[in-house]
């Protein structure tokens, strides 16, 4: 059993697609997987095809200490994959409330410890660094980040690594940034800018860099269909990219 947070300091880099794709692939491999949607946008909830009952419990209720993961967890369209949903109406603004609560950053960790165990839990963090991201990291054994291959995107990586290190020192000694995933990578024909950024990424982060995931129209298609990419288009090249990423993670022992 292990818990992996996928976090970065900016949105639209492929974080949620990565969380949902890896969760689906893990479930398809015969293991059990759970996605916890900690992003107020609720994109991971949408992408898994989960149906949230009107007024039903969400991650906000868990963070508020009023419901459990078992109460909120929903089945998805992929057998073996569940999701703890998020809705903007309940999660937006909760950071302000939690910031006034002693020990609030420990609530997700404690909730996971009392939940029905699964092989892998993946937490989809917000596209920014705040209390929700810190709460996710406190609950995690390892952290992962994604970045588009541009100099601007890569410049944000030291910031997220710094936050992970602060959480490690304060709360979670085992926590490490175990992987950096180059995402939405365009073809080489798009120019040297992207190639040079990838070279820089490998130079700075070494063996923590995973195989790249290409840019593909299949990703927004899968999201629109409310189906995780590996179930929506199992033979697509971009799905093969994510299989290579998961194989890298498994081979490196990143999931415990």
In a domain, 152, yes or no: yes
Mean pLDDT of 239-250: 94
In a domain, 211, yes or no: yes
In a domain, 40, yes or no: yes
Q: What is the pLDDT of residue 193?
A: 67
Distance of CA 10 to the CA centre of its chain: 13
Most confident option among 19-23, 153-157, 176-180, 210-214: 19-23
- Residue range 134-174, pLDDT digits in tens: 999 999 999 999 988 777 777 778 888 999 999 999 999 99
Domain that holds residue 84: 2-251
Q: What is the pLDDT of residue 197?
A: 78
Q: What is the pLDDT of residue 121?
A: 97
- Which of residues 12 and 223 earns the better pLDDT score? 223
Distance of CA 34 to the CA centre of its chain: 11
Q: What span, in angstroms and rounded, lies between the C-alpha atoms of 183 and 1?
A: 26
CATH code, domain carrying 65:
3.40.50.300
Q: What is the pLDDT of residue 12?
A: 63
- Token pair for residue 254? 């990143």
Confidence label for 256 from pLDDT (cuts 50, 70 and 90): low
Q: What is the pLDDT of residue 191?
A: 57
Q: What is the pLDDT of residue 13?
A: 74
pTM for the complete prediction? Answer: 0.93
In a domain, 89, yes or no: yes
In a domain, 256, yes or no: no
Tally of structural domains, the chain? 1
- Residue range 64-120, pLDDT digits in tens: 888 999 999 999 999 999 999 998 777 777 777 777 777 788 899 999 999 999 999
């Amino acid at each position: 059993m292990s818990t992996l947070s996928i976090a970065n300091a900016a949105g639209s880099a492929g974080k949620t697609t990565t969380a949902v794709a890896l969760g689906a692939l893990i479930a398809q491999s015969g293991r059990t997987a759970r996605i916890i949607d900690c992003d107020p946008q609720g994109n991971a909830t949408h992408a898994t095809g989960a149906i949230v009952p009107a007024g039903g419990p969400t991650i906000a209720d868990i963070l508020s200490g009023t419901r459990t993961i078992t109460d909120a967890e929903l089945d998805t369209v992929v057998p073996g994959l569940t999701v703890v949903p998020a809705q903007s109406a309940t999660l937006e603004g909760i950071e302000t409330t939690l910031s006034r609560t002693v020990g609030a950053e420990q609530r997700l960790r404690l909730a996971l410890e009392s939940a029905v165990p699964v092989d892998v839990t993946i937490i989809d963090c917000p596209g920014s660094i705040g209390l929700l991201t810190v709460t996710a990291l406190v609950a995690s054994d390892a952290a992962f980040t994604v970045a588009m291959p541009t100099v601007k995107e890569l410049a944000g990586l030291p910031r997220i690594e710094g936050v992970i290190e602060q959480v490690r020192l304060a709360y979670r000694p085992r926590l490490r940034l175990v992987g950096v995933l180059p995402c939405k990578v365009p073809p080489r024909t798009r120019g040297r800018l992207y190639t040079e950024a990838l070279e820089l990424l490998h130079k700075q982060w070494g063996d923590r860099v995973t195989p790249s995931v290409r840019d593909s129209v299949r990703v927004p298609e899968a999201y629109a269909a409310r189906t995780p990419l590996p179930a929506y288009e199992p033979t697509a090249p971009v799905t093969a990219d994510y299989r290579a990423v998961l194989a890298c993670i498994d081979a490196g022992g990143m999931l415990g």
